[in-house]
Amino acid sequence: MTVRLSDKDTAGMSPAQVRELKRELEALLSEKENRAKYRQFFYTFPERGPFRRELYRKHMKFMMAGADYRQRLALWGNRIGKTRMAAYENTCHLTGKYPPWWEGHRFYRPVDIWMVGNTSISTRDILQKEMCGDPALLPSSLGTGMIPLEFIKNNPTKKQGVPNALETIVVKHFDENGDYDGDSVVTFKSYEQGRKSFEGTKKDLIGLDEEPPMDIHTECLLRTMTTGGLLVLTFTPLQGLTDVVLMYLPGGKIPSGQTELKGSVYVSMATWDDAPHLTKKMQDDLWASIPPFQRDARKKGIPQLGSGAIYPVSDELLEVDPFEIPPHWKRAYALDVGWNKTGALWGALDPESDILYVYSEHYLGEAQPAIHAAAINARGKWIPGVIDPAARGRSQVDGEQLIQTYRDLGMNIIPADNAVEAGLYAVWSRMSTGRLRVFKSLSHFWDEKRIYRRNEKGAVVKEFDHLMDPLRYLVMTGVNVACQKPPSDMISEAGRRLKLVGMTRRTSAMSA
């Protein structure tokens, strides 16, 4: 490194003094460069500057949540910094060098940590690189990752069969007074090693970077139970609403910021807007390069509509702000009955655009038909309905057939067309052509839509579909029986029709 000095800087100095000054300045700059290169841990999440920690609010909240939650999930979009954040926290635990502002979980002794990725190669190229430095430049790059070179003890253990891959690193740990008190260990693992490789041992912290298989997730949870350790997951949900994701998002419900599950789990959602290092241009370039069906997952951390999704259409293409339904639009509702849950959806058809707007929902369990009927009739007894045809052979009260029960309760209702595959295709066709829109306010609908899927054999998963079945009935049959709101002085469309029939008969009799 060459230092250039101006005449002003060297005024009154002899040539020998100038050379000495240059050597001193070059030595200081070299030392500064080395410190930044081999001690980046101390320069991460600084107090000042364009990337100061106050701008990384989601990152700070997630790390600090470790003080109260043993399990944490960062369900974030891509490029937000979840892997780097995890590397920073892990280095705090490995070294005991917690910053003054740290309010998260603290270990007061050396720790044993696993950091786990998808494959041995991806673990090397992502996790090892983040913690230790560029694998391709080993051994000279060791210490240029998050773990400072001065804390790495001895030579790391290499992983067999994977070039430049490390398996175990021993890290010096320091107590609260800054005194060396033993060695921590971090081991790199991968899901491809299989569940059995995760059995048996106790761990203080396990970091799962990328979504794990369920069996490995379970083993890792067991490995931290006896130590009171931490299980930290950081991934973008590209596989959709898998069993692992549903463990943290019951019913597929997307939290607005973070949520708690049984008092032990912390879930955080973060988008590109939560990453100060992503400029507007960078975001625009990333957005343009991502397939539309992956955009919610990669930008917002919202589980991707995977191959098993029955309606692989983004919520943004369906949702609409609630508005008052014009009186000339035809309306109908569809009903799916059950003791555990009875669900109904109301739709209004715009005659000009042929867009069906789903505008209201009924969602209630463990209630008698009279309760459901009262709620449904309150939305307009004149609105015709269609019902799950299986209700004709199903009973809830003393063997009564439900369709007749609901009719006796004043509901104008007929059996719906229950052709499953044809109905699913009809709904998807409306969605994909923009002819089906749903009010944003229908929270239960959106919860079900996100997890409505097929299993590995292609069969529809019959769980949490109490509104998905009515949606199918509404599209297949409801639009055909829908009617306009009658004049205000008439009780129902049926009553209006009966009155017209009576008038016709009297006119015929008079003519005769």
**Is there a single domain that holds both residue 432 and residue 488?**
yes
**Is there a single domain that holds both residue 320 and residue 461?**
yes
**Is there a single domain that holds both residue 365 and residue 411?**
yes
Mean pLDDT value across the chain: 86
List helix spans (H) across 249-346.
280-289, 295, 315-318
Burial pattern 302-317, b for ≥16 Cβ within 10 A else e, equals bbbbbebbbbbbbbee
Q: State the pLDDT confidence band at 2, using cuts at 50, 70 and 90.
A: low
CATH number, domain at 99?
A: 3.40.50.300
3-state secondary structure labels for all residues of 3-42: CCCCCCCCCCCCHHHHHHHHHHHHHHHHHHHHHHHHCHHH
CATH number, domain at 464?
A: 3.30.420.280
Asked, for residue 6, whether it belongs to a domain, the answer is no
Asked, for residue 11, whether it belongs to a domain, the answer is no
**Is there a single domain that holds both residue 98 and residue 178?**
yes
**Is there a single domain that holds both residue 115 and residue 186?**
yes
Better-predicted residue by pLDDT, 142 or 393: 142
pLDDT at residue number 365: 85
* Total number of domains constituting the chain: 2
* Residue pLDDT, tens place only, 101-119: 999 999 999 999 999 999 9
* Residue pLDDT, tens place only, 8-38: 777 878 888 878 877 877 777 766 666 677 8
* Residue pLDDT, tens place only, 33-75: 666 778 899 999 999 999 999 999 999 999 999 999 999 999 9
**Is there a single domain that holds both residue 274 and residue 165?**
yes
pLDDT at residue number 180: 96
Helix-helix angle 57-64:82-95, to 10 degrees: 40
**Is there a single domain that holds both residue 183 and residue 326?**
no
DSSP string, 436-488: EEEETT-HHHHHHHHH-BB-TTS-B--SS-TTHHHHHHIIIIIHHH-BPPPPT
Asked, for residue 306, whether it belongs to a domain, the answer is no
Strand runs labelled E in 98-151: 112-117
**Is there a single domain that holds both residue 355 and residue 418?**
yes
pLDDT at residue number 489: 39
Asked, for residue 27, whether it belongs to a domain, the answer is no
Q: Read off φ and ψ for residue 333, nearest 5 degrees.
A: -135, 160
DSSP string, 386-441: EE-GGGGG-BSSTT-BHHHHHHHTT--EEEPP--HHHHHHHHHHHHHTT-EEEETT
Q: Is the pLDDT of residue 294 over 80?
A: no
**Is there a single domain that holds both residue 343 and residue 428?**
yes
Rounded distance, CA 239 to CA 304, Å?
Answer: 6
Q: Is the pLDDT of residue 332 over 70?
A: yes
Q: Is the pLDDT of residue 497 over 70?
A: no
Of all residues in the chain, what percent carry a pLDDT higher than 90?
60
pLDDT at residue number 396: 43
**Is there a single domain that holds both residue 142 and residue 92?**
yes
* Residue pLDDT, tens place only, 235-278: 998 877 788 988 888 766 666 555 555 457 999 989 999 999 99
Mean pLDDT for 449-478 is 86
Domain boundary among 242, 268, 300: 300
**Is there a single domain that holds both residue 376 and residue 283?**
no
Q: In terms of residue numbers, what domain contains 150? A: 43-300
pLDDT at residue number 392: 53
Q: State the pLDDT confidence band at 512, using cuts at 50, 70 and 90.
A: very low
pLDDT at residue number 263: 56
Asked, for residue 310, whether it belongs to a domain, the answer is no
Rounded distance, CA 147 to CA 185, Å?
Answer: 12
Asked, for residue 506, whether it belongs to a domain, the answer is no
Residue 130 near residue 146, CB atoms below 8 Å: yes
**Is there a single domain that holds both residue 253 and residue 350?**
no
Asked, for residue 205, whether it belongs to a domain, the answer is yes
Mean pLDDT for 187-208 is 94
Asked, for residue 501, whether it belongs to a domain, the answer is no
Least confident interval from 353-367, 373-387, 453-467: 453-467
Whether omega for the bond prior to residue 139 falls within 30 degrees of 0, making it cis, is yes
